[in-house]
Amino acid sequence: MRGMIGLMALMLTYSVALAPAADPAAAPNTVNTFNRLMTNKLQRNLPPMEDGIHDPANEGTAMLQRPKDAFGTMAPSNGGNYVNWVESLKKGSINPRYNKDDPTEEAVVFDLDIVREVKGTMPDVVYPHDRHTQWLDCSNCHPDIFIPEKGKNQISMAQIIMGQKCGVCHGKVAFPVSECRLCHSKTKK
């Protein structure tokens, strides 16, 4: 039950079957409806009753704090839900409990970078474990989302936008794929 933020993200994994590529315009028009951090700016950070994620019929939904109230004191960001979560954590604006059953448990921060080379002109991807493990437990991602072994995980931007792999969090509760350079950050030699 560690790494609660990761669990938030896991709630919303969807998959959508894509039609063959013959007619791109014929694809369903719902691909981005759950990718909420890429929606129109005015539709982001809506109150829980209106956000399309929480059940408005559930009385508990009305008790949840509104994002705009919660995010007011946090470090700002230009993308996603306009919160720089890494910076907010660093500054102490937030102090999430690592283990819901144990307020004293501290995160096991793992400083390991994975560089994933990609073909084409885009810079290679750097995955920093350190800032992820400040929030998450290893088991939030391994082995269900990512098998901890080179070559065992096929990852594509399409999958991520469809809410799989990195998209389990990014685009929902973490910055969206529109912030290309935050991940594609290693210039090719």
Instruction: Report the residue number, 52 or 143, with the smaller CB distance to another protein.
Output: 143
N-term to C-term CA, the chain: 41
CB of 31 to another protein, least distance (A): 5
Q: Sign of the CA dihedral 157, 162, 166, 170?
A: positive
CA distance 176 to 81: 9
CB of 37 to another protein, least distance (A): 15
How far apart are alpha carbons 136 and 116 in whole angstroms?
21
Q: How far is the CB of 77 from another protein (least distance, A)?
A: 17
β pairing state of 184-186 and 124-128: antiparallel
Residue among 56 and 143 whose Cβ is closer to another protein: 143
Least gap, CB of 76 to another protein (angstroms): 16
- Rounded CA separation 4/1 (Å): 7
How far is it, in rounded angstroms, from Cα 174 to Cα 154? Answer: 21
| Residue 52 vs 158, nearer CB to another protein | 158
Judged by the rule CB under 8 A, the positions of this chain that interact with another protein are: 1, 4, 7-8, 10-11, 18-19, 21-22, 24-25, 27-29, 31-32, 59-60, 63-66, 69-70, 73, 92-97, 100, 108, 110-122, 138-139, 142-144, 147-151, 154, 156-159, 161-162, 178, 180
